[in-house]
Chains A and B, each alone.
Chain A
Amino acid sequence: MSIFTGNPENQRIRMIDIILLACIFFILYGVVHLSAGMIIPFSVEHEPKVDLQLSLLPYYGGRSLLRMFIAFGASLIFSIVYGYIAAKNEFARKILIPLLDILQSIPVLGFLSATILMFINFFPNSLLGVEIASIFAIFTSMAWNMTFSVYQSIMTAPKDLREAAELLHLNWWQQFTRLELPVSIIGLIWNSMMSFGGAWFFLAASEAISVLGQDIQLPGVGSYLAAAIDAGNVSAMIYAMLTMLIMIFLVDQLFWRPLVVWSQKFKVEFSESDVQPSSFVYDILHASWLMDFLQHLLFAPILCFLNSCGNMLANMTTKITGTINGNKNQKSVHRVLRLFIFILVIYALYGPAKNSAVMVYDMGLHEIFTVFSLGVYTFCRVIAALAIGALWTIPVGVKIGLHPKLSAKLQPIIQIVASFPANMIFPFVTIIFLKYQLNFETGSVFLMILGTQWYILFNVIAGAMSIPNDLLEAAAVFKITGWKKWKSLILPSIFPSLVTGLITASGGAWNASIVSELVAWKDVTLTATGLGAYVSQATTAGDWPHIVIGVMTTCVFVVCANRLVWRRLYSLAESKFHLD
């Protein structure tokens, strides 16, 4: 497969090639330099402190970026392997897909302290443990929906192509590279882009964290901000935010846009759509002699090598499964295999399950009741956040969606603004709260909205854009305007996308509750009564039983809300308000 194939004619070295070459060396050097910082020693006495010097900010930015990309690489590999296995193996699917559903509803931030402790144990006396814990937190915010996307793409691969692949006697590796991977690419890149945007939030949250009463700070933009907050240094806070904005913008322009343009060649339908995405970076790379050179000298041989490895593996496994299938005891072999896996899973789960059961038991019913009522508080906040978010995003989103020119201009800007981690704005809001002595119990709802409103806005815009033009024209002809138009045309048409947006936003709001119900400025801490604050405090104190019960309760709330409210609304949207 060719990655960037330049035009074979007019291949000459131009200025742009030299610049690209410089860029490549710069990136390589940067990665080496930044990753060297990951394995410095770490102990309680020797804690690395973030320096508020402005000149160090690019370095911190680089460290943050490196973390994001390592997590992304891991998510990419994970999603392809997991999604592929779930799609291809019926037995595995029965376990993997429900598991993914559960993983998706776990509030990642609640587990952060647990994972940090675990990884510190793996890498004692080195910062690498904390580093990996942070990367792991980012990974868990990216991987799940990427995996779902791969799974969905493979499951819905065109039937005729699948049949053709089989009739052409392609082995599983060839089918994977020619069919399953290509059909997954568009969805995977789109979901990666969304996940990456959402992951900045987790980056900012996971770089500076207190565990067991101890502040751990990883060099990065998030911890720079945290240090600035501790010091009460407003200008340093603004620098951190600007750095974040620049990073988001650069990653979007230099990484995602070219990828989106490239992915268009994996469209399955043959008709060309009218709007083709474009990217100037892609155009430069595409026309560049250097990329062509690298393609022939570096990428092609690597891909070729990978391909022959895969082929060999595929042929080997085909032979092995051939002999197993030839075996008359095939069924019993499978049964033994299943039993073995089952026992393994039970064995692995038994210890932790027993421990947490004992912990919860020790706390007694009263504590459980308290936690549950805290959950109700947070639940109310989530609902309020969604309602207020919907209130402003619906009119604005419809306005944007119905005006193609406006949406073409605003979409990219909204995308970048939406990627900006809301938790980096929290300190500024906190200052305002403190200054005007506002009530934080209701005020934390506002913090929640900051992070979740974008999901609703995006979906409302998409819904409004998909309202068929003839219906709009009919409404105009019959002079249906004002509230009547909203009631009979706009609201029903955007309903399905609105529900999708609300579902995503509610997931985000639960996750955000952990950072938005407890905020600090200098020495002052504002706390709102709720499950998020409860988990947050338990994390700081390193109080295991409370972390476990807090996170479990959150899971229960999220899963119940999904099953009881969102699924039903979703099927209503599917059946009643489905256009065409």
Chain B
Amino acid sequence: MSELLTLTGIGRTFNIKGSANTAVLENVNFAVKEGEFLAILGPSGSGKSTLLRIIAGLIPASSGTVAYLGKPITGVNPGVAMVFQSFALFPWLTVLQNVMLGLEGKDVTKEEKEKKSLKILDIVGLDGFESAFPKELSGGMRQRVGIGRALVSEPDILLMDEAFSALDVLTAENLRRDLLELWLEKQIPTKAIILVTHGIEEAVYMADRAIILSTRPATVMENMLIPLPRWRDKKSPEFLSYVDQIYSFMTKRPTVRESVTAAARIKTSPSQYTLLPNVTAGALTGFLELLEDLNEKTDLYKLADRFVMDIEDFFPLVEMSNLLRFTIVSEGDIELTQAGIAFARASVLERKELFREHLLNNVPFVGKMVDSLEKDTDNKMDIDFFEEQLAEAFGEKKAAQQMDLIIGWMRYAELIEYDDATEKVYLEDEEEEEIDK
């Protein structure tokens, strides 16, 4: 079979204010063949959506080429249509007009456009809604319009950007089945589908192949075939073993970036900082308590299921508790360490103590901040001083967010005090606890 789409050496850097260049994608290579349903998975912020937009030609790649039918694309990719997470329907146009927009760029008569659009509305199950406005429809129906608009131009490749994640569980399930039916029974002339998702189960249920991206800068970490027969049973052991496998891939951290940190205490260049997971101390405590209640080694995917958590929220928690060495993850299973058990059982004050100790030992940037403050004459420093160091690695926007996160942890650990008005951090005065006037 011929290759519809080929990505060679795709890289993308963003010029973020404050830092030279931040690489989001690095050397991404893969190809899509005719008849393939491909899922792209990755942790949040890994650049999945950026990759999809590069394939669509909405944003140019900084390096490498996207080729459609062997020809490198410039500008918008002529062979694709896209379904958006937010539906991206034009609220001032009716359902029919929205779908007809899909044919606007083509050279066909108005009657022909209308006929084709009505036919596609029929196929996606919106017969009778053509004169409705999007705001009159439910979320699921709106996404059907989105799918109809993408299909009406008969694209070779259908791109789906988290197309089901804005819908409730039942509606999403229903829509997935309907789309899969159209695809498997060849009711639509689409030659390939690329689905970007953070739902591992969704990917295993729908796709023939999953591409798993690493965290920033993202590159293809795993290219996994899912040769299960259709229709797939979500409860079958084969299905679950694929889900488990993907979970373990996604929690495996490449050794190079072995946590944020250990490297930073030894003199390093700032580019070696990696992003800290966006988790509050409170959420972490709750997570560890629940793990302690379970009292056993657990499969990560089961745990996510049990907490009814999105992996976008779940993975940062796991990453954080690993980083502080309260848990250990191996082969897709998670387990509390001794310290983790102690933490879960401790009183509020003891917890702060433990947290402080683990924070200082495992996140060198925190240690560095305390050192600098101790050396300072009045133990008080501008937050900008530290933020700039982070900005060199992540750019201003990310750095500000990371700084907030670190300050939050350090305040919880009672390592520092922070004055929001002057944006200064200072060491807590142990003798005379300052009481707010």
A residues contacting B by CB (< 8 A) are: 158, 160-161, 163-164, 166-171, 174, 178-179, 182, 265-268, 270, 272
Contacts and interface: CB of A to CB of B under 8 A. Distances in A.
A321 B308 CA distance: 52
B334 interface: no
B82 A272 contact: no
A211 to B, nearest CB: 47
Interface string B86-123: 11101111000000011011100000000000000000
Contact of A163 (B53, B90, B101): B53
Nearest to B59: A163
Lowest 3 CB-CB distances: which A-B pairs, in order?
Answer: A169-B105, A160-B88, A164-B88
Nearest to A164: B88
Contacts of A160: 84-88
Contacts of A168: 81, 101-102, 104-105, 149, 153
B76 interface: yes
Contacts of B53: 163
A170 B58 CA distance: 13
A174 B106 CA distance: 12
A104 B81 CA distance: 44
Contact of B88 (A161, A178, A272): A161
B129 interface: no
B135 interface: yes
A270 B101 contact: no
Contacts of B56: 163, 167
Most chain B beta-carbon neighbours within 10 Å: one of A161, A174, A266: A161
Most chain B beta-carbon neighbours within 10 Å: one of A170, A171, A178: A178
Contact of A170 (B88, B91, B101, B149): B101
Contacts of A174: 104-105
B105 A163 contact: no
A163 B134 contact: no
B88 A270 contact: no
A179 B91 contact: no
Contact of B92 (A166, A171, A266): A266
B80 interface: yes
Contacts of A268: 91
A81 B82 CA distance: 31
Contacts of B86: 158, 160
Interface of B is mostly: loop
Contacts of B76: 166-167, 169
A319 to B, nearest CB: 14
A577 B81 CA distance: 44
A265 B84 CA distance: 22
Contacts of B88: 158, 160-161, 163-164
Nearest to A266: B92
Given A163-B53, A167-B76, A178 B90 contact: yes
A270 B87 CA distance: 11
Contacts of B239: none
B318 to A, nearest CB: 30
Contacts of B84: 160, 163-164
A164 B82 contact: yes
Contacts of B58: 163, 166-167
Nearest to B110: A304
B314 interface: no
B70 to A, nearest CB: 21
Most chain B beta-carbon neighbours within 10 Å: one of A158, A167, A179: A167
A176 B170 CA distance: 37
A170 B90 CA distance: 13
Given A163-B84, A168-B101, A266-B91, 14 more contacts: A158-B88, A160-B86, A164-B84, A166-B58, A166-B76, A167-B82, A168-B81, A168-B104, A168-B149, A169-B105, A174-B105, A178-B90, A179-B90, A267-B91
27 contacts: A158-B88, A160-B84, A163-B53, A163-B88, A164-B90, A164-B149, A167-B80, A167-B81, A167-B82, A168-B81, A168-B101, A168-B102, A169-B105, A169-B106, A170-B105, A171-B105, A174-B105, A178-B90, A178-B93, A178-B101, A179-B90, A182-B90, A265-B133, A266-B91, A267-B91, A270-B91, A270-B135
Contacts of A266: 91-92
B181 to A, nearest CB: 25
A124 to B, nearest CB: 48
Contacts of A270: 91, 134-135, 142
B92 A163 contact: no
B323 to A, nearest CB: 32
A167 B101 CA distance: 10
B250 to A, nearest CB: 27
A170 B92 contact: no
Contacts of B102: 168
A170 B82 CA distance: 14
B431 to A, nearest CB: 32
A115 to B, nearest CB: 38
Interface in B294-311: none
Given A168-B102, A168-B104, A169-B104, A163 B82 contact: yes
A352 B105 CA distance: 48
Given A160-B86, A168-B102, A272-B135, A265 B80 contact: no
Contacts of A171: 105
Nearest to B135: A270
A447 B402 CA distance: 54
Contacts of B81: 167-168
A558 B107 CA distance: 54
Interface in B134-153: 134-135, 142, 149, 153
A166 B133 CA distance: 22
A92 B61 CA distance: 26
A320 B320 CA distance: 55
Given A167-B58, A167-B76, A167-B81, A265 B92 contact: yes
Contacts of A182: 90, 92
Most chain B beta-carbon neighbours within 10 Å: one of A166, A168, A174: A168
A262 to B, nearest CB: 11
Contacts of A158: 86, 88
B285 to A, nearest CB: 27
A294 B212 CA distance: 58
A182 B98 CA distance: 14
A160 B166 CA distance: 14
Contacts of A265: 91-92, 133
